Structure formats: structure tokens, C-alpha cells
Amino acid sequence: MDRQVSALFTITMVDACHIVPFAKSFDNSLTNGIALCPNLHRAFDRGLISINDSYEVILSPSFKENTQSEYSFSKMEGKTIVLPNDKDFWPSLANFEWHRKNVFKK
């Protein structure tokens, strides 16, 4: 019997991630959100990654990886996030600043 699981390679998993947690801000607006895969969402919530004022991914110096995988978090450092065409829907830099000051592990 064939027990292969191939669906994982055809399914896109995306979470809606609050930049400033909803419990602190009560802000559900698009500018307080970013779309991330579940692993990056957890890393963002735990302060292992953040976004700088140039909309680039930054990695916490306290985060250590034991892999050279092409999917490692360190390969994302310095990459610019994909932004909506309409600047009115871009994530707020002020919210990212809050995240870097209050959640991100320096």
C-alpha cells in the first residue's frame, strides 16, 4: 500500500500575524498585520525575527540554527518582504518599531 503524503507540497499555509498583539492594541487593521507561514509567525511572536524600517527581515542574534538548509531562517535575513501595491495597506513602520522595542530579542 502506498502511504506517501504529497499534499504538503501543494498546500500554501499562511497565518495572519498581528505586529502589535491584539491583546495590547485591539487593532485588527491591515497595517497591524503581516502574512507569514506558521513557523515564521511563531518566530515573530517570540522575538526571533522582526522587520526593520526598510521592510527587511532581521534575525535576533540570540537565535541559533543548527542547519544550512535552504529554508533556514538565516537565509531570510536582509530580504525585503513582499508589500501590497497600494501603500495604504503596507504594514505600519511604527508597529514594527514597537515590535523591535518590545518583543524582538536583541
* 41 within a domain of the structure (yes/no): yes
- The x, y and z cell numbers of residue 95, run together, are 508597529
What 3-state DSSP class applies to 57?
Answer: strand
The contacts of residue 49 (CB under 8 Å, 6+ apart) are 40, 43, 57, 58, 59, 60, 63, 73, 76, 104
* 75 within a domain of the structure (yes/no): yes
Domain count, the chain: 1
* 59 within a domain of the structure (yes/no): yes
Quote the pLDDT of residue 10. Answer: 60
Residue with cell 499555509: 13
* 1 within a domain of the structure (yes/no): no
Could you tell me how many residues make up the chain? Answer: 106
Residue 25: give the domain boundaries. Answer: 7-102
Helices (H), the chain: 22-25, 38-45, 93-102
Quote the pLDDT of residue 1. Answer: 47
Mean pLDDT, all residues of the chain: 89
pLDDT digits (tens, 9 = 90+) for 60-101: 998 877 777 777 788 889 999 999 999 999 999 999 999 999
* Strand 57-59 with 15-18, pairing: unpaired
pLDDT digits (tens, 9 = 90+) for 5-62: 445 556 678 999 999 999 999 999 999 999 999 999 999 999 999 999 999 999 999 8
Q: Given CA atoms 105, 36, 75, 80 in this order, what sign does their dihedral have?
A: negative
Quote the pLDDT of residue 11. Answer: 66
